[in-house]
Amino acid sequence: MATWVVGDVQGCFSTFQALLDRLEFRPGRDRLWFVGDLVNRGPDSLGMLRWAYRHRDSLVCVLGNHELHLLAQREGVIPARRRDTLAPLLAAPDADELCDWVAGLPFVHRENGFLLVHAGLLPRWDLAAVEAAGAAAREALARDRRGFLRALYSLRGDILPEHDRKSPGDDPDRAVAAASVFTRVRIVDGEGTPSFEFDGAPESIPPGHRPWFEGLSLPDELTVLFGHWAALGLMVAGRAVGLDSGCVWNGSLTALRLEDGELRIQPAAEGDGQAL
């Protein structure tokens, strides 16, 4: 039995299938963890999501910003954007079934010394705060999907309330803010507040800011697995492992075996990537 963690696929289903062959994945024996962003920007989000749904009993996937983007379009909260490639998925006869499954995915997953999240965390959050924030965001999305997504795509999703930033509690605005952190953060300022607009390489981080994973308040024995930051690239160091190797930008798709740290890196298939 092996557990492989796979970076951002983003609809690059041909590349994923090639990687899967190399992993010798067998449902029921092996498990796949995904850092989120199964869909969008690549050419076959529908194929990728159908595969994931069919094998859902053998995988763990956390919500990424592109899953939320899919749900927001499905709910009529936002229009399609120029680089989106979700139209075939949204028009598919099984779109409701697939989107309902996506909407039930967690924002964070912890198991056997690993914490899986799409983008990152607030450095000041301890483990109890992370899990409380993840549960609150998941429950808020389940309770009122459209209302939650409307709040997320408004300014409310960028505001971290000043009172008790360690945990979102039962405040809907704080649950929305936590979802923004889990799915969008890359860097924080000196006070630990996210700068959501930044998407560049580490060497272009503005003065007074740092990557979110520096100075974590989590237990030393816990390793965070994340994606989202293509400009960071593959990073296997210390207590945080970044697995977005930019497949959709003609980079590669990376898988990490949790049992021994072995990496498998699959170059993007022709036609899977977008021009930068």
* CATH at 143: 3.60.21.10
Summarize pLDDT for 207-245 with one digit per residue, the tens.
999 999 999 999 999 999 999 999 999 999 889 999 999
* Residue 129 belongs to a domain: yes
Q: Is 173 strand, coil or helix?
A: helix
* Residue 272 belongs to a domain: no
Contact 187, 212 (CB under 8 A): yes
pLDDT of residue 237: 82
| Torsion sign over Cα 181, 187, 189, 191 | positive
Domain that holds residue 145: 3-267
pLDDT of residue 69: 97
Please report, for residues 132, 186, 232, 236, 273, the alpha-carbon distance to residue 13 in angstroms, rounded to integers and kept in the order given.
33, 26, 22, 24, 11
CA 239 to chain centre: 18
pLDDT of residue 173: 80
Lookup result for tokens 């094998």: 55
pLDDT of residue 155: 63
Contact 177, 125 (CB under 8 A): no
What would the DSSP string read from start to end of 63-129?
A: --HHHHHHHHHHTTSS---TT---HHHHHSTTHHHHHHHHHTS-SEEEETTEEEESS---TT--HHH
Full-model pTM: 0.94
* Residue 209 belongs to a domain: yes
User: How many structural domains does the chain have?
Assistant: 1
Q: Which residues partner with 266 through β-bridges?
A: 253
Whether residue 46 has pLDDT greater than 90: yes
The token pair at 220 is 């030393």
Whether residue 96 has pLDDT greater than 60: yes
**CB burial of residue 35 (10 Å; 0-12, 13-18, 19+):** buried
pLDDT of residue 95: 98
* Residue 85 belongs to a domain: yes
Whether residue 275 has pLDDT greater than 90: no
Whether residue 117 has pLDDT greater than 50: yes
Mean pLDDT calculated for residue range 46-53: 98
* Residue 47 belongs to a domain: yes
Summarize pLDDT for 120-175 with one digit per residue, the tens.
999 999 999 999 999 999 999 999 999 999 999 986 556 554 444 444 445 668 89
pLDDT of residue 248: 96
* Residue 215 belongs to a domain: yes
Stretch among 19-28, 45-54, 90-99, 101-110 having the lowest mean pLDDT: 19-28
